[in-house]
Chain A
Amino acid sequence: MTSLSISHGHVAADMLPAREAPPIKRVPIVKMLFGDVMSAALTAGALVTVLALMPALKWGFVDATWATADPAACRAGGACWAFIGAKLRFILFGLYPPEEQWRPMMMMGLMVLMVLVSLSPALWGRKLVTAWLAGVAMMLGLMWGGFAGLPFVPTSQWGGLPVTLLLALLSLGCGFPFAVFLALGRRSSLPIPRFLSVGLIETIRGLPLVGLLFVASILLPLLLPPTWTIDKLGRTFAALTVFAAAYLAEVIRGGLQAIPSGQVEAAKALGIPHWKAIQHIVMPQAIQKVIPPLTNTAIVMVKNTSLVMIVGVFDMLSAGRSAAMDPVWPAPYREAYLFVGLIYFALCVAIAYYARWLELRVKAKDYR
């Protein structure tokens, strides 16, 4: 019986030898571009768009002034990229005293280093949180100074990219743990935490961020006793943090709802205390499930920091705008905004790619 089935398999293999895969069908390029009405229309549309963009490209590249010491040379009509070079330090660091600008530079270096170290989930844990607390203290210390021979620089002189990065990172970083408790509170069976969470989330979500920033920067100092002076940057940061927390909380709640009840039941049956089950069993799974919407909120928050401009905080967008106001240069607003926009774009794309990598890692565990 055994030998029969083997010889049978052998015969079958002889009769049906492996063959080469058929060649991949190639569509001629003309057919691809103009094969049917739809393709032809799209091709024509694309050509028209490219032609319409030609003047912009001419402005940006062909006629552009790339480098000059003389602002008057920029009046020829093309883009004035020389302006970006001349004003780079101002756009990046704002009013921060020029001879001290190595400090925000180092601060950003430290931030990038810490972010890079924190990318791999393998290192996530209590030690990393401690390292971040110390790191943030060092970053703020570098910016403020007032010790070890570093001159004190008040937050009113901070500006540019460091302010944008600090606001984005700290509002998300401080908002996240806050959001975890809001999400748990909203799902709690106890009435008081639930009502507090629902009330806070719905209030914050119901207000525009601009309104919240006005409340924090203008209304709050009027309401608080005059002795309580909280720094304007600090108040702006607080407003961004609660705003981020409310949105993150709803995203995390979505993740919590996706966890089957069997997970908590198994934890209970194994005698795992409730809060430890939340921390080690429920929350990690909930957060892994909502990486895409968390990314979305992170990107939105990075861009939202630019709104602090309207309450007079000197972030990167404000710095770019102020730089372009310099009467020596021929009002290069387009160049300034394009440059600042490029930096925002780079930041957001980096976040998006990191999130994609994280998601692939989670998928690699192949769980259902």
Chain B
Amino acid sequence: MMSAEKPSNREPSAIAIRNLDKWYGTYHALRNVTLSVKPGERIVICGPSGSGKSTLIRCVNHLEEHQQGEIVVNGVTLNDSLKNIDAIRRDVGMVFQHFNLFPHLTVLENCALPQILSRGTPRKLAEERGMQLLERVRIPEQALKYPGQLSGGQQQRVAIARALCMSPKIMLFDEPTSALDPEMVKEVLDTMVALAEEGMTMIVVTHEMGFARRVADRVVFMDRGAIVESSAPDAFFDAPTHERTKSFLSQIVH
């Protein structure tokens, strides 16, 4: 599968997105987006709603289909080949705004069942790994409860543990704290900071600018489907170059 990799003259990217275009019907949702993420790099994407941030990261693991341009993840090109899509999804974990835990399964089963179904991991090993990851997000005591019995922050940490159970090389976060009550945002961000400190490659769509400043290697600002500005957090927050970025920052940073 990796033989599909073509010789690259660029430095090896974890994710290479080139000239990506996507339409929903006639609506032009992504416009000529080019973004390269190095292994271990942490990217924060921000921008007003409808700017295409979520669409962009959902294209990376093929939850959305792009029409033009190229996405290469760890050397595998994302195209119609189911084999390639599977290979990419094996490497890429995702955390959703609304957690999307499986409500009919216990927390531990949420972590174990995907390993069993997608990799054929024996149940015992899958549960052991599930417990390890639940300990890592510091909620092993909730393992036998159902998601509906947990707080939002706890559910999102389970979702992170569930994604990590699959040993992804890259993690995508789609507004992971937007659906949380304010007092629960911190516990989820702390988990994400810990993950970043371990060297995980991350793309995070979020409006948590404190997190961006602390963790991001690069902040990308999108508007109307296009990348407007992309720079290191200090430069991004202190000296934004584009008018659109300045007005966006003035509205969300106080």
Interface residues of A (CB under 8 A from B): 260, 262-263, 265-273, 276-277, 280-281, 284-285, 288, 365-368
Q: Separation in Å of the B105 CB from the closest CB of chain A? A: 8
Among A262, A270, A281, A285, contact of B163 (Cβ-Cβ < 8 Å): A270
Closest to A287 in B: B104
Contact A368 B89 (CB under 8 A): no
Contact indicator A263/B100 (Cβ below 8 Å): yes
Q: Which partner residue on chain A sits nearest B89 by CB separation?
A: A271
Total B residues in contact with A, Cβ cutoff 8 Å: 28
Within the complex, the shortest CB–CB distance from B214 to chain A, in Å, comes to 26
Of chain B, the residue at the smallest CB distance from A368 is B148
Contact with A along B67-93 (1 / 0, CB 8 A): 000000000000000000010011011
Q: Is B16 an interface residue (CB 8 A)?
A: no
Closest to B159 in A: A266
Q: Could you give 6 example pairs across A and B, Cβ below 8 Å?
A: A266-B100, A270-B114, A270-B163, A271-B118, A365-B146, A367-B149
Residues of chain B touching chain A, judged by Cβ–Cβ distance below 8 Å, are: 61-63, 86, 89-90, 92-94, 96, 98, 100-104, 113-114, 117-119, 146-149, 162-163, 166
Query: In the complex, what residues of A have CB within 8 A of residue B101's CB?
Result: 266
A269 & B103 in contact (Cβ 8 Å cutoff)? no
CA distance A265 to B64 in the complex (A): 10
**With a CB–CB cut-off of 8 A, which chain A residues contact B90?**
271
**Contact of A265 with B117 in the complex, beta carbons under 8 Å:** no
Tell whether, in the assembled complex, residue B166 and residue A271 are in contact, meaning their CB atoms are under 8 Å apart.
yes
When chains A and B are docked, how far (Å) is the Cα of A366 from the Cα of B145?
Answer: 10
Q: Is the pair B89, A268 in contact by a Cβ cutoff of 8 Å? A: yes
CB-CB < 8 A to B96: which residues of A?
262, 265-266
A272→B114 contact, CB < 8 A: yes
Whether A272 contacts B103 in the complex (CB less than 8 A), given A280-B113, A367-B148, comes out as: no
Q: Which residue of B62, B98, B103, B118 is within 8 Å of A365 (Cβ)?
A: B103
Set B118, B148, B149: member contacting A270, Cβ < 8 A: B118
Residue from B103, B104, B113, B114 within 8 A of A271 (CB atoms): B114
Chain B nearest CB, measured from A361 CB (Å): 11
| Residues of chain A with a CB closer than 8 A to B147's CB | 367
Closest 10 CB pairs of A and B: A367-B148, A266-B100, A367-B103, A262-B100, A269-B94, A271-B118, A270-B114, A271-B89, A365-B146, A276-B117
